Amino acid sequence: MMRTRPLKVALLGCGVVGSEVARIMTTHAADLAARIGAPVELAGVAVRRPDRVRAGIDPSLVTTDATALVKRGDIDVVVEVIGGIEPARTLITTAFQHGASVVSANKALIAQDGAALHAAAEEQGRDLYYEAAVAGAIPLIRPLRESMAGDKVNRVLGIVNGTTNFILDKMDTTGAGYQEALDEATALGYAEADPTADVEGFDAAAKAAILSGIAFHSRVLLDDVYREGMTEVTAADFASAKEMGCTIKLLAICERAADGGSVTARVHPAMIPLTHPLASVRGAYNAVFVESEAAGQLMFYGPGAGGSPTASAVLGDLVAVCRNRLAGATGPGDSAYAALPVSPMGEVVTRYHISLDVADKPGVLAQVATVFAEHGVSIDTVRQQGKDGEASLVVVTHRASDASLSGVVEALRGLDTVRGVASIMRVEGE
């Protein structure tokens, strides 16, 4: 039997995502009510610029006083899509204190202060949901937190930023340089005017922190995530990748150590074999590959950004939170019981592709091989090309620690036969 009194929703932010949330709430009101068991009513919309025309939204609902809106006391759910740390953090905690549950799409805030926000929600007996914070429309947090609650996740490997995937895909398929591909992404609206958060890996690092914490039931902070951007990836790197039967992606990688005693979280460009499912992810799409003990290998794929896809995830959380509200219950909260430490990047073990500029003369390969051997790094393959006294030497290693590889590179730079280290890239997904 459906309850007639509506659940009241306050919307913080009415940009690309917020306006789409409001539109779906209005146009799909009957379906949402049937799925929840009660109508949902948009009770207020907090914005910075109240004079802007917002199609489909009653102007009487619009306010610039977000604090007063979340303090009303009759709000059941606050939907936060303004982003950033403040005032979002204060508004969310205030909402809990005044009886509301919260749905958020704020990856930066959840990655930095998720534990404190979960504690605030638990103290007040309220929900904090944030499916839209990680991969847009792709259901990922709920499967990890609920569907796989009885399993043991060992690895999460994914493309979690559509802008960077679009740029790298263009470089791969058309031979374009980085700047040319970035310009196209900007023209098509995939990249912001300032793309730093995307191309330097900050956006993906926040998502990696969230995913690691959920997957491994441990506290992983944004500062724990190793981050390396993709601005130095070149057409030559893609040429080398193709020779190895690989392509290049900016990956978020969250792993449990082989002994199970620690975890790592990192974001960086990497070569992956063309046979790996992530290699075929094109354009601005996202995909996340999950490896667990019982379920095996799972892949989640779809649009990772944009108004409609992100709003889809927000509305999914809204329905879940409203159902909990009617039942007088709350959903899964923070789970950090495992308390696994986060290992430093130096302990991460993977394969490496190293391109060197060297003198084209006898003995160079032997010198280079000796350096690798002295640092305990085993070489898988070597390719050398030379002309007019100069040569390029490409070395692909077996699995080695980041610290060991750093020692190799430092020693190589000390050889008079090595003119320079052209590029270093990790090889993942095998």
Catalytic residues: 207
Q: Cα angle vertex 264, ends 425, 207, to 5°?
A: 85
Spatial separation of the C-alpha atoms in residues 260 and 205, rounded to whole Å: 22
